[in-house]
Chain A
Amino acid sequence: MSNRTLPRLLQAPAVLLLLVWMLVPLSMTLYFSFIRYVLNSLNRPEWTSPSLSNWRGFGNYNYVLDAKDFWFAVQNSVFIVGGILFFTVILGLSIAVLINKTFPGRGIVRVLLISPFFVMPAVSGVLWINMILDPVLGLNGITVEAINNLIKDLKNLPIIGSFFSLSPELTPMSFRATQTSAYAVIIMVTWQWTPFAVLIFMTSLQSEDQQQKEAAILDGATSWAQFRYMTLPHLARPIAIVVMIQSIFHLSLYAEIEIVSRGNGNKNLPYLIGEFANNNIGAASATGIFAVILANIIAIFLLRMVGKNLVN
């Protein structure tokens, strides 16, 4: 066998499988996005099966762009992803710097910190919304109740009580409304993905130039100056990678939203696609194509960076 056929033969199964996996469903989505295709229609039964004679051109796209839900979903997707990114990067950086030096029990601290990342999204959603964030039965409600009782007791104390006489009764926040359940999603995903950011920043911190750092300390640089002018520039690339990888993952967030917000109006693009797909496949497909475009814009930057690294 020639020098070139064998390598190709070894790669062929992987390449073919991925090619089919990518091309077949995606081209079907593209096709459905240009035709009228609904699952249930009493008036127009011909629309219930995919056919070229139901051609609609860009009609589905226009329909989706005009839907109020679409813009809300786009906005909400960006809000949720932006919120998660903000908190995971800030928390990830702080924690990585915090545990980058040796101290007693560092190994255990690492193990405890990484654990949330391995919790399956379904469990994370059920656990947070029911047992932690619930305003009555969850820790959220229990804690607020405990604080209220404490204040009530303090009010009855002789002298100190007067300081608390005006303090109002606290009410726990409910995370089941449209807007607040988006916060709930941000909280639970931040909890799951901060460990990921910590791991990556820590890996990167370990390759920081120590000699340069020692020189800076001898020159009297403060800890903040070291962080700002040496560590942060060193971490620019890992930060960019964390941001891009998380954007791609979280733009397709689904399980958490399904668990937290079923039917309360909080939705992102994948969730909206799911809603359309209950009946209007044409609109669902057009929304899907928009989601693909959105993900691709980010993916192109990420792939460039990863590809560049491959050469070195």
Chain B
Amino acid sequence: MSIVTEKSNFGRVYRPIIAWIVALLFFFPIFWMIFTSFKTDADAVKPEFLIFFKPTLDNYLNMTENYDYWRFAANSIITSTFATSLALFVGVPAAYSMAFNPTRRTKDVLVWMLSTKMLPAAAVLYPMTFLTKNFLNIFDTHFLVIIVLCLINLPIVIWMLFTYFKEIPKEIIEAGKMDGVNTWGEIKDILIPLAWGGVASTALLCFIFCWNEAYWTVRLTTIDAATLSKLIEGNRAPEGLFFGRLSAVSTAAVGPIIILGWFCQKQLVQGLTFGAVK
């Protein structure tokens, strides 16, 4: 048993108390948003704490009417799902070949891929608008949003998959080769089942990043392919201060993602630091 246990009063008594207070403070804005979403708009703008009120579900029931919520939500679901699938479809073979057939340049390629993530988006906004509007005619389409979301997350996806694949013993893959399995078979029947946890958490994290993306999805869409980020951004100065309904639509926009996020907090470190912190 370790002797590094808490002996002092501070540790035993105050640590949990302080930790709980800090955690509750950090969660409070989210709680306040959820809390307000059950108030009527009239109650929500009263300049007082108003803890006791008659809760209402109207803000949620009228979400479609007030904000056309489901159209934006459907766009978010469609674009995030397809972008994540596409990123995995392109990323799995690439990460597979980097992990099991590394060359002298593999490291450079990986670092270069990361560097594409560090290009400030604002610097290339106008060319992207110009190209997609005047040239390719794909401005404000699901196709464009899917491609862009896939590309901005592809470096992280490849990087995460690479670190997971590297931990699989090479011999297992080689054994498959001996048995005459082709590359596609190796990936599908040997690699994916072995690295299933890693692939799943990569997909989850990619999905979360796609969902929360707020630069390209807002700039490259107008109506047809607009996502939830665009919906909320468009209501940044709520007309007549509809705090109640705005809280409800915000809660609906972030709630599912926060819950998904809880399941992949461990992988988040790896995904965001590119394996640099272990």
Contact = CB atoms under 8 A, between A and B. Distances in A.
Nearest to A304: B111
A11 B243 contact: no
B262 interface: yes
B243 A28 contact: no
Interface string A203-245: 1100100100110011000000000000000000110010001
Given A255-B218, A291-B122, A307-B111, A203 B278 contact: yes
Contact of A18 (B32, B154, B276): B154
A229 to B, nearest CB: 16
B62 interface: no
Given A104-B16, A131-B33, A191-B26, A13 B90 contact: yes
Contacts of A281: 126
B97 A6 contact: yes
Contacts of A204: 277-278
Interface in B254-278: 254, 257-258, 260-262, 265, 268-269, 272-278
Contacts of B116: 18, 21-22
Interface residues of B, number: 96
A18 B90 CA distance: 11
A311 to B, nearest CB: 7
Contact of B261 (A15, A112, A114, A309): A114
Contacts of A111: 262, 265
Interface residues of A, number: 110
B122 A269 contact: yes
What's the dominant secondary structure at chain B's contact region? helix
B60 interface: no
Contacts, number: 308
Contacts of B262: 111, 114-115
B123 A292 contact: yes
B109 A11 contact: yes
B196 interface: no
Contact of B101 (A7, A109, A214, A285): A7
A57 B168 CA distance: 54
B15 A103 contact: yes
Interface string A102-134: 011110111111111111111101111111100
B173 to A, nearest CB: 13
A10 B183 contact: yes
Contacts of B273: 200, 238, 241, 245
A95 B115 contact: no
Nearest to B27: A112
A218 B253 CA distance: 52
A136 interface: yes
A101 interface: yes
A258 interface: yes
Nearest to B229: A122
B232 A126 contact: yes
A299 B116 CA distance: 10
A127 B236 contact: no
Given A18-B116, A115-B27, A132 B127 contact: no
27 contacts: A14-B94, A26-B119, A32-B127, A98-B19, A105-B20, A112-B23, A113-B26, A116-B26, A119-B30, A119-B212, A122-B232, A126-B236, A126-B246, A127-B33, A130-B238, A131-B33, A131-B36, A132-B32, A137-B241, A146-B49, A195-B26, A196-B268, A203-B269, A238-B273, A258-B233, A262-B236, A288-B125
| In the A-B complex, the 7 residue pairs with the closest CB atoms | A288-B123, A270-B122, A25-B124, A28-B127, A118-B261, A7-B97, A14-B94
Given A109-B20, A191-B26, 13 more contacts: A6-B101, A17-B90, A18-B154, A28-B131, A112-B26, A117-B261, A120-B257, A127-B32, A128-B29, A196-B268, A269-B120, A277-B125, A288-B124
Interface of A: 3-4, 6-8, 10-11, 13-15, 17-18, 21-22, 24-26, 28-29, 32, 95, 98-99, 101, 103-106, 108-123, 125-132, 136-137, 139, 141-142, 145-146, 191, 194-196, 199-200, 203-204, 207, 210, 213-214, 217-218, 237-238, 241, 245, 248, 251-252, 254-255, 258-259, 262, 269-271, 273-274, 277, 281, 284-285, 288-289, 291-292, 294-296, 299, 302-303, 305-307, 309-311
